[in-house]
Amino acid sequence: MTRATDHRELLARLGVDLELHDQLIAYNNRLHEQTFAATTGRPGTMRLFDEAFHASHGSRVAEISEYRKQGGKSIGTFCIYVPDEIALAAEVLPIPLCGGTNWSVDYADKMFPRDICPLIRSTFGMAFSNTCPYKKLKDAAVGETTCDAKKKAWDLLGFHVMEVPQRKKPTDVMLWRNEVREFKTFVEGLSGVTVTAERLSESIRVVNRKRRVLQIINEFRKLDHPPISGLDALLVSQVALNMDVRAFIAAGEQLIAELTERRDRGVSAYDHDGPRILVAGSPSPMGYAKVHFAIESSGFRVVADESCTGIRYYRDLVDESPFGLDSMLDAVADRYFTIDCSCFSPNTERVENILHLVEDHRIEGVVHAILLFCHTYNIEARVIDNALRKKNVPSLKIVTDFAYEDLERIKVRLDAFREQVRGERVTAGV
């Protein structure tokens, strides 16, 4: 593994502003040290995921650069609705471009208003400050019609856009299946490689394996004494998005072996039995790990994540049984259409999925982690709370950005929530 500092020449060739990039890396490394690396009781294998985190601006950039030198094509993506299986079957590498650092958000002011979500501002802040090494490593960018801010950003930047319908009626299913086919034509046009049944079958198998690895790691979090913390489980999910898929599977399998061994020896990642928490809502990229950090350093245990950096990314696999390209494309489309993003109306599946998580992971409290200006998750929290209340599960809504200035305020609210979780439990048992 090599870090960004080992790849300065390559970064300079990619048009990266090295001085600003050093600042960005120093900022992100500091956060990593103060959150993920600062926790105790970590499995030794987490070293591989720490390395992959640092490699995202170093050796991973070099890998993709080399792949493109050999004639490979790539696309930048911003949402888990873009079907990796089809891109990979056309020999197009998807590169997730969601920025997650407070360092870059203000650079987005060049083009975007300040009152939009920090995920978008951070992403484009990196692009506009020339600190994103992937900017020149992609042959195209693929956006999607999910939330308003994203839709309008793609228009402005002229990206290829996949239409994600906002309802789940039979006509919407047909529309989405057509979009997936259009996407196939788009990636085939980029690479000149035709998606055949054989190629698609292989990519479905590989991506399913990756998601299965994440599912197995998540299973350990259901135990009385989880051998992996919420912060580390989050890091694994974050890294899964960008790491080479086969390298991720290999690292994930090593982690599973260690977690199995820890489970058998009764080793917990925690030195306490604090309340079991589900974190629900907006995606948690690097900078948003502050929410997990705040929760876990306030005496809770995060044992489940309901987000696109959590179970929403790996809950469902593509059905591998269909034969023939057409049925396989439908199987891919249908798997992606089960994603319960808050852009859907109504979004009853999400409520049901959360209630299942509450039961399976024996959740004692839910924390909604909502990115500032992420209206759909923010408003939908109320529908979820109504359902949780019937199960006597308390919840807390944290609306924040990637900056750390409010960390202490969040922790004060979490302290109060801790009493509420314990208090409600006592009342429920009377």
Asked whether 387 and 408 are in contact (CB, 8 A), the reply is no
The answer for residues whose C-beta is within 8 angstroms of residue 419's C-beta and 6 or more apart is none
Asked whether 365 and 302 are in contact (CB, 8 A), the reply is no
Residue 49 or 377 with smaller CB distance to ligand BJ8: 377
> Which of 420, 429, 375 has its CA nearest to residue 399?
375
Q: CA-CA distance, 67 to 400, in Å (whole number)?
A: 38
Strand partners, 77: 96, 142
* The binder of ligand BJ8 chosen from 52, 88, 142, 149 (CB under 6 A): 149
Question: Residues in contact with ligand BJ8, total (CB under 6 A)?
Answer: 19
- Subset of 355-414 contacting ligand BJ8 (CB under 6 A): 371, 374, 377
* The binder of ligand BJ8 chosen from 28, 237, 282, 298 (CB under 6 A): 282
Residue 259 or 339 with smaller CB distance to ligand BJ8: 339
Residue 81 or 103 with smaller CB distance to ligand BJ8: 81
Asked whether 392 and 365 are in contact (CB, 8 A), the reply is no
The mark string for 327-366 relative to ligand BJ8 (x by CB under 6 A, - otherwise) is ------------x-x-x-----------------------
Q: CA-CA distance, 214 to 92, in Å (whole number)?
A: 23
Residue 103 or 154 with smaller CB distance to ligand BJ8: 154
- Subset of 67-126 contacting ligand BJ8 (CB under 6 A): 79-81, 117, 119-120
Residue 120 or 180 with smaller CB distance to ligand BJ8: 120
Distance in Å, CB of 78 to ligand BJ8, minimum: 7
Q: CA-CA distance, 149 to 412, in Å (whole number)?
A: 31
> Which of 368, 374, 376, 399 has its CA nearest to residue 117?
374
> Which of 424, 304, 417, 295 has its CA nearest to residue 353?
304
Assess 283 for contact with ligand BJ8 (CB under 6 A): yes
Assess 141 for contact with ligand BJ8 (CB under 6 A): no
Residue 262 or 335 with smaller CB distance to ligand BJ8: 335
Assess 147 for contact with ligand BJ8 (CB under 6 A): yes
The answer for residues whose C-beta is within 8 angstroms of residue 154's C-beta and 6 or more apart is 143, 144, 161
* The binder of ligand BJ8 chosen from 42, 150, 276, 290 (CB under 6 A): 150
* Angle separating helix axes 289-296 and 407-429, nearest 10 degrees: 50
Asked whether 88 and 68 are in contact (CB, 8 A), the reply is no
Distance in Å, CB of 343 to ligand BJ8, minimum: 6
Residue 304 or 371 with smaller CB distance to ligand BJ8: 371
Strand partners, 160: 142
Residue 107 or 336 with smaller CB distance to ligand BJ8: 336
Q: Which amino acid is present at 186?
A: F
- Point out which residues bind ligand BJ8 (CB under 6 A): 79-81, 117, 119-120, 146-147, 149-150, 282-283, 308, 339, 341, 343, 371, 374, 377
